[in-house]
Structure 1
């Protein structure tokens, strides 16, 4: 492929191969300049460049060998740059070169091979024009240290199923950085197991480069920890498939170390020429056998099993290892299935299991990726950082990407797409389509391997090898995916992993594509040895690289059927849990043929109604939820504006989802939470959740946002109630006792915690910039002029860590809630979180002022003031001049939650699942407010158990975390309701993060007023107006 100011043409494969070979020679001549001087390399460079120009005229543009794979393997950094230093190009006799200089040349060739990540992984169309070389970045610049897990103790010899199952997915012990694990002083031999794309070979390349390119004092490598025992080791790297091909006789009865030493000599000859290899090999072998080194043997699973070859190779590895001195370390890489058979285990080797990337590793990879590709793409530092931020936001906004991002290969593919496009495709189906194309391209690229004599052999791409077009390969993959998904769904255990696909199923799907005389082993070899759209999972067993790819390709199969809508509806109606993702991806696939096609499919799930929440059943509720999710995937709310039919569909989806929130027994807590999120993104219309505009449209001028939170007030009548816990309650803390009567005047409390939608006018209306809304201590916090009082914490380590955590919110992050921009925590109908006590207090003062300003216009607002009274929503006039908004006291909060009779939880004295978002619900984060109507308090307030802890006005004190200064009986006149001072303040109600005990109405917890977290919010109280 050549680039002429943006235009591209394809070159014949034979020409591409010659060009790639010449470029390799040019690249690696530099590795010998210090050894042989300038003259010979310069002569060779001139001749090579002349040959290259004869092959292709680039017109002054950049030559990008994009159709020739010069990498092989699973992940970034497997650059296959080979040094050719034969007599034709050097004109220099190796006899005159000292062995140490030849060793230096060998290591420079290894470093050159392993150092670069060619940005053929970035689509060449997006590289800046006019560059002279293919874009590439240093592997050391993007590499993120992998982590491993050891098998659980006592289970090393368990069955094949254990290794293929739990170990293959990273189960086992604690995570340890891989570099730290192989440097352990008591273990020196390791087998590193990981699925395709997990980063095994990337690690081998990185470690080879780190040692081969070491140029510090005493051979120290800047890419390894300074105190690592790996520092200064001699690296030796072999690709086991190539070693087996050239040096393991087909009729060998047993494996010997000499076979691998022969492979080393062949590798030297391929890099330095035959005579240089003859001079260097005895020197290298002698040093390794006397001093030891780090031996890296890559790809045990890629060695053919024919004629006992793998067993012979294992014996050769064991024999080689036995002959190495004590300081040596040996690492063998393999996929789990290749190591599952006990007969293929290496005695005395520790097993390490590669773990998926965690959030921190994903973050570090993104940061390093964009720092590395920025210069290649012509971006300045600020642009590169902004692009990285956008990728992070995309991953955070789309939960379905989290598991994909944990797999290094798939994260790299997403980063590649993001770099090329400037963003990830908006639609999920488009994202998978582009990623599928990238994975398929890994099969399509030609690649170089070593032949039996060590010669370079070019393997063509899969389509060329099979003599079929890419589209026909896709047809076979679609069929395989659908059949596998259907069969897996009918099984007793439906795990998240992709289905196993037998060799017979693969061959049956591809049989119609292949010539009659085609050797099926060629196809199976591609699947075994290349990480593409199917990967080997066990001998004769394959799978898609992730379940979501299985689901997307199954969706492609159904989208190609004559009646896609009927096919998709039939499957989700029969088994919504299993076919949900296939349905959503099928809708996205159909949209690629036009939005109307996708809308038709969604419309079949949304019948008219329901008029009442009782009209739904479990299946209909699930279909409504699924339809809403499909509309969001299509970005339908934005596209529906101005289109009556489309707007009708969106409104029907809202009506179903609102009815679902009222249906107390419908669906599981997790499904209800998902429905709440969909409703929030579709603009939740429920009273008490969002905002209203009390001013006529346009009255306040263009660009002025003067919305008023739409509060539904719950009336708590005047009178006494039981506060605290009885003395015989063993689960209650002492500071909840004694239980006693407290008499309170009438007050009103918001039916729900304040939502993000209701908090937004405060943020955007300048509430954080007006000192009049804040107490003196609160304004000092807002402006960074006070330090938190941590004196109640008696543990110094805890105090230090708490201070460090609080410091993560400096003054520049105090102008909005801490999680304000988060794609989930910040959904409009979820409770606002990440607000400290001072922020909650300021909001109340702001809201009171806004209500006073709006009192003359309230009749014009939707529904006027709304009150929940006697189980229904009523409206009426409120004398706002006498109505004050503030945080509830803990007594008011407790009465609102339990009524007068001392209930244990808002609904009664017995815990019941499905009534609160606590730890038991399994939601694992906040949810939209008001999703658990069965958990209502006697007065009709919701979410007083679970979802978020709620700030109250009441002091706990400041002397101790465990003994309150303000105990029981409750006395409102003992200064506990004083809003001044740094005292810890009480929170009530429990949260998504706490259990049922914490959700008891009487449970008391305290935080310092500076505290903010994603489990803490608040609701507002109003006194003493009369409706």
Structure 2
């Protein structure tokens, strides 16, 4: 027969501790191989094993693999020369990965680097110890037929079959792997591919084997290798994803086919699977036979009818390309010719899908629109498009030509940002355009879902109408054209049967959702779009289910889906609440984070204008009335008690709705939600007073509100969710409502039926399933329910400790309702006391205890600090809360973002770490000044120790300095504000004294810092409270009669204070850790309160010397940005480099990095520079006390 048949297996994961389960599955595979031969005539000509033979690259794993391969060859009757293997990332022995290998892998940033590494014998020798056990296995088991070493890292093995010369290309996609799929930066390398293809030249059939799919490769490597292999190989086989895949790609110059084998053994959630492939050259027909393992009835292998719905008999036929058919072929056999065609034209199917997206996203939720107006015009809705206002993030924008993160391969970061202008924040749409994979963070009602709905609406509208108008709405920031939007509500996915932690599960949910809207025929079109690229995948509400198992299943499914559908033209946008994203291990690998910022005054005004213009369009107000209402609300909303609320898009929407309906606005958010709930219950009141009768007359609005509060609490408790409103079943509603209706289940059903049409606070989302208009309503109502419970304080404390993410917002609502609506401040304060332990802070307290203590501070702010301190029995409690929050910061408890939130709360409560009467300097014996002893230290960098070093940091050399003092923290907002208010100094940019007290002051020029230093020098010299020896040094000097002064440190003083004597790379040591500093990878995106990173302290105890803000020094850099005039070695006696009178055209040195910058710029030796007049939100300073006096 003129055929070739192969068995493709992958991902065996052999390990000794799982031997029994492995044997159970693989023994059945051997039986299935023999049965396929006897029953179906499938006798393989060869066997392909595409990597991950073992689980950890261990010698014992390969012993097991060798024994199985012996049995497999016996079952097939093949010799070893017909078994082909390639390594995967699990074939890497992580214990043997050298530091040199890590440096090589992490240093890859372009195709030339990859090719240079592969070409370098030295680099290959550095990389290959990790393959020690794989290499021994291959060399021992296969012998000389298939050598594997640092020279023979790939192979090409020809063999004749069916009259054809077949070449097998064994490619090593794990050559750069470190063994950890989450950390790996993978590549084949153009050189490896070209060498292998050159050796395979002349073959009739080329089959490439590799472990990793193209989507796992670095983008530039994929660009180089994928097209080449698809053009010059007939089949590309891989594994890694643990999921079967068939992808035929036919273009004018390529007929490649990509086949993925599932995991042959993985004792976890993935089904075990393998593939058989038969090519019939006479008929021009190929067939893929899909097999999977079933654990039923003792276990057996069977047809895989699960992976592809239209491959219902487990086999997939396809046509061979012209190059692969026999030249004398005269006819083809009958039978199936492939996947069933779509029932309709793909363009029509897509149009139907897009119209569904538009319908889903174009309108505001009815629950936040005045129900009385909606009764008058039931068919009209308020469109989202004219009301939408652009949102900003807390990240800083990087304009064209700028590179403040220091991403360049060589040279220094570009510094066009030195221009004298204010920094610009990054818009949410800009962020989504910038990041191919992004997590958008924000609090409740911050606009996350509205933003993704608007983006999906504009993209769908443009693909439908193709006029350019919808893309124009997105503006020039969106540079990716009209991508196909695929929007998934993860809360709904988590609640269903498909949530199994896999990419397939998420895909099946998507297809099921399409079918529910009669869009099932769109499945093959959508699949093709994902494979070809050009889809924006929107995954809304990552934290929708904190039931631990299902929550992690959602997390894993999102990661898996983004890995499977990783085409570089696909983009991913995930939304999540900020505090819920901080759980250990919860962050999505390779997803960049951006946090939504509150609305500013301009955006608030634009929203109000758009709202009332839409009201006028709908005919609900006249143009003259609309104009008057716009002016009135824009003025009213600037009240000091309302402006903080208006920055939240949901609360702004509700305030605007209330203003339209009632002509007034409440004073705070508790009253706001109370009025909003009552607004939504207006329909109920109107029904009772009108002609409708029955159950409506038996339940008052107050009773209904109380019942809904209990419904909200019960649903919230059962949901165990952190985002999105809960689903409430009709049975749950009836069980609560019947208590208001004399226990009648039938009347409760009538009441539910009435609510469905009229109440407004519950929306029917599916037959018999209801939900609240927004999760914040659910949380408010659940909090209202708790507020009237007799054990409220202890109960809320218990719930918070049990599940912080679930109950945090509910607790704050309960306190707000108790304190401000029910005027029971003392009970609300009892809740704060219950949340904060009564004893002294304990370092061994659990994270749950620390989180509850942190929340107690927020509770005090929710009540009002002045109100609580007026209660005699709670004055000591306020001090206790401050003490716990201070300990949380100083001991480095919880995750960095949580510490930042705690630090912000402590700043508003009054941070005991600082003394207001001492110019807000630190409350220690030395006012925060840390002594740095005289003596030598190592300055600069040694590239052997620190390959990230820049040339201007060289050479590393000893420098001897006199003793001096330096600030433990950077200068804070409160400290600088004290200077401004006391001295009358006129700041040119007032923003730098408007922030929270304990954040480092920013937006300061070098001249601003000098003015502060001079002022503080005078104040400490004259103030009676200045401690010794500071007072003596400032007034008399150190015995030479030359008084010391408060001044900026030199860059040498700064560096010694940061790193000490030993030349360490970072203040704490050589290894980077996001828990030790506020920089890019920490994901905070803004300054943090002083001292939030105690683990990042330097050897002398100075904090925040890496990240947070750049810190000015008094040292000169020079006139050229890229080349310092003042080079190393540093001479302390050369006062020219510290000349305080130098002109403003000469840049000064800054040190330490900032919150927006990458780790490379956080190193102690890194030198940055700005002209003295530059100000920005990234620049601050810390002071020193020194004998420096020369001003040349």
Distance 1:414 1:956 in 2: 58
Counterpart Cα distance in 2 of 1:437 and 1:514: 21
Instruction: Check if 1:719 corresponds to 2:935.
Output: yes
Displacement of 1:923: 3.1
Q: Aligned residue for 2:1166?
A: 1003
Using the alignment, how far apart are the partners of 1:466 and 1:387 within structure 2? 38
Inter-partner Cα distance in structure 1 for 2:645 and 2:924: 30
Is 1:966 aligned to 2:1183, yes or no?
no
Report 1:409-808 matches (<5 A): 409-410=653-654, 412-413=656-657, 420-421=664-665, 424-425=667-668, 428-441=669-682, 444-445=685-686, 465=696, 467-489=698-720, 494-514=721-741, 532-591=760-819, 592-610=822-840, 614=843, 616-636=845-865, 638-641=866-869, 643-664=871-892, 666-687=893-914, 690-692=916-918, 711-728=927-944, 729-769=946-986
Q: Distance in 2 between matches of 1:183 and 1:832?
A: 45
Aligned to 1:845: 1014
Q: Within 2, Cα distance between the matches of 1:620 and 1:839?
A: 42
Secondary structure in 2 aligned to 1:765? helix
CA distance in 2, matches of 1:561, 1:82: 36
With the length of structure 2 as denominator, give the TM-score of the two structures.
Answer: 0.48
Matched, 1:364 2:603: yes
What is the CA-CA distance between 1:184 and the residue it aligns to?
A: 6.5
Q: Residue 499 of structure 1: SS of its match in structure 2?
A: coil
Deviates more, 1:974-983 or 1:514-523: 514-523
CA distance in 2, matches of 1:114, 1:411: 21
Structure 1 residue matching 2:719: 3-state secondary structure: helix
Instruction: Report SS of the residue matched to 1:389.
Output: coil
User: How large is the Cα RMSD of the aligned pairs?
Assistant: 5.1
From the superposition, tell whether residues 975 and 464 of structure 1 become closer, same or farther in structure 2 (CA, over 3 Å). farther
Q: Deviations 1:390-409 (Å, cap 9, x if unpaired)?
A: 47x856x469x73635xx85
Instruction: Note the 1:234-253 alignment, pairs <5 A.
Output: none
Q: Is the 8 A contact 1:879 1:1025 kept in 2?
A: no
Offset, 1:619: 3.6
* 2:633 and 2:659 in contact (8 A); partners too: no
Q: CA deviation at 1:419?
A: 6.6
State the Cα deviation string for residues 251-271 of structure 1 (Å, max 9, x = none): xxxxxxxxxxxxxxxxxxxxx
Is 2:390–2:603's contact at 8 Å kept on the other side of the alignment?
Answer: no
Distance in 1 separating the partners of 2:939 and 2:693: 74
CA contact under 8 A between 1:917 and 1:927: conserved in structure 2?
yes
Say whether the 8 Å CA contact 1:691–1:758 is kept in structure 2.
no
Aligned residues of 1:817 and 1:833 also touching (Cα < 8 A): no
User: Could you tell me how far apart the structure 2 residues matched to 1:891 and 1:715 are?
Assistant: 15
Shift of 1:957: 2.8
1:218-229 to structure 2, matched below 5 A, reads none
Contact map agreement 1:709 1:758 (CA 8 A) in 2: no
CA-to-aligned-CA distance 1:556-614 (integer Å, 9 cap, x gap): 2222323222322222233333222222222222322421222223223344441x653
For 2:374 and 2:723, the matched residues in 1 are separated by 38
Task: Describe how 1:867-882 pairs up with structure 2 within 5 A.
Answer: 879=1036, 882=1043
Write the distance in 1 (CA, Å) between the matches of 2:747 and 2:977: 65
- Matching of residues 270-285 of structure 1 within 5 Å: none
Q: 1:727/1:145 Cα in 2 relative to 1: closer, same or farther (>3 Å)?
A: closer
Map 1:132-531 → 2, pairs under 5 A: 143-144=387-388, 169=449, 175=455, 178=458, 182=461, 186-187=465-466, 341-343=516-518, 363-367=602-606, 369=608, 385-390=634-639, 394=642, 397=644, 402=648, 404-405=650-651, 409-410=653-654, 412-413=656-657, 420-421=664-665, 424-425=667-668, 428-441=669-682, 444-445=685-686, 465=696, 467-489=698-720, 494-514=721-741
- The offset of 1:752, in angstroms, is 0.5
Distance 1:367 1:540 in 2: 39
1:987 and 2:1183 matched: no
Deviation string 1:285-336 (CA, Å, 9 cap, x unpaired) is xxxxxxxxxxxxxxxxxxxxxxxxxxxxxxxxxxxxxxxxxxxxxxxxxxx9
Which secondary structure state, in structure 2, belongs to the residue aligned with residue 953 of structure 1?
strand
Separation in 1, partners of 2:1013, 2:773:
52
CA separation in 1, counterparts of 2:1085 and 2:1018? 36
SS at match of 1:721: strand
3-state SS of 1:507 partner: helix
- Higher relative contact order by CA 8 Å / sep ≥ 6: 1 or 2? 1
1:675 and 1:584, CA in 2 relative to 1: closer, same or farther beyond 3 A?
A: same
Q: 1:659 to 1:766 in 2, by over 3 A?
A: same
User: How many residues align structurally?
Assistant: 653
Preserved CA contact (<8 Å) 1:498 1:550: yes
CA shift in 2, pair 1:563/1:173, >3 Å: closer
Is residue 1053 of structure 2 the alignment partner of residue 892 of structure 1? Answer: yes
Equivalent residue for 2:205? none
The equivalent residue for 1:210 is: none
SS in 2 for 1:577: helix
Equivalent residue, structure 2, for 1:50:
none
Q: Give the C-alpha shift of residue 682 in structure 1.
A: 1.4
For residues 403 and 987 of structure 1, the distance between their equivalents in structure 2, rounded to whole angstroms, comes to 38
CA distance in 1, matches of 2:812, 2:694: 30
Q: Which runs of 5+ in 1 are unaligned?
A: 1-70, 84-109, 118-138, 154-166, 193-222, 226-335, 448-457, 696-706, 770-813, 868-873
Q: How far off is 1:942 after superposition? A: 0.9
Q: Name the SS of the counterpart of 1:568 in structure 2.
A: helix
Q: Report how far residue 721 of structure 1 moved.
A: 1.4
Task: Quote how far apart the aligned CAs of 1:630 are.
Answer: 1.0
Instruction: Assess, with a 3 A threshold, how the Cα gap between structure 1 residues 763 and 73 changes in structure 2: closer, same or farther.
Output: same
Q: How does 1:816-835 map to 2 (within 5 A)?
A: 816-821=989-994, 826-835=995-1004
Deviation, 1:414, is 6.8
Q: In the alignment, is residue 976 of structure 1 matched against residue 1137 of structure 2?
A: yes
Asked if 2 retains the 8 angstrom alpha-carbon contact of 1:694 and 1:858, the reply is: no
C-alpha separation in 1, matches of 2:967 and 2:464? 62
Distance in 2 between residues matched to 1:720 and 1:931, nearest whole Å: 30
For 1:482 and 1:337, the matched residues in 2 are separated by 30
Are the equivalent residues in 2 in contact too, given 1:932–1:942 (CA < 8 A)? yes
CA distance in structure 2 between the aligned counterparts of 1:409 and 1:416, rounded to whole angstroms: 11
Name the CA distance, whole Å, in 2 between partners of 1:411 and 1:694.
38
**Contact (CA 8 Å) 1:830, 1:926: kept in 2 or not?**
yes
Q: Please give the secondary structure, in 2, of the residue aligned with 1:582.
A: helix
Contact 1:957 1:984 in 2 (8 A): yes
Query: Residue 544 and residue 943 in structure 1: after superposition, are their counterparts in 2 closer, same or farther (change >3 A)?
Result: same
Distance verdict in 2 for CA 1:586–1:361, change over 3 Å: closer
Q: 1:877 to 1:565 in 2, by over 3 A?
A: same
Quote the Cα distance in structure 1 between the aligned partners of 2:1126 and 2:1188.
Answer: 29
TM-score normalised by the chain length of structure 1: 0.55
8 Å CA contact retained: 1:145, 1:177 = no
- Matched residues in 2 for 1:593 and 1:524: separation? 33
Please name the residue that 2:570 is paired with.
none
Contact 2:1050 2:1138 in 1 (8 A): yes
Which secondary structure state, in structure 1, belongs to the residue aligned with residue 1111 of structure 2?
strand
* C-alpha separation in 2, matches of 1:671 and 1:141: 35
Q: SS of the residue aligned with 1:420? A: coil
1:858 aligns with 2:1088: no
- The answer for the alignment partner of 2:77 in structure 1 is none
1:712–1:865 Cα contact (<8 Å) kept: no
Please say if residues 948 and 1016 of structure 1, whose CA atoms lie closer than 8 Å, have aligned partners that are also in contact.
yes
Q: Are the equivalent residues in 2 in contact too, given 1:926–1:992 (CA < 8 A)?
A: yes
Alignment match, 2:1090: 929
What is the CA–CA distance in structure 2 between the aligned matches of 1:440 and 1:553, rounded to whole Å?
Answer: 13
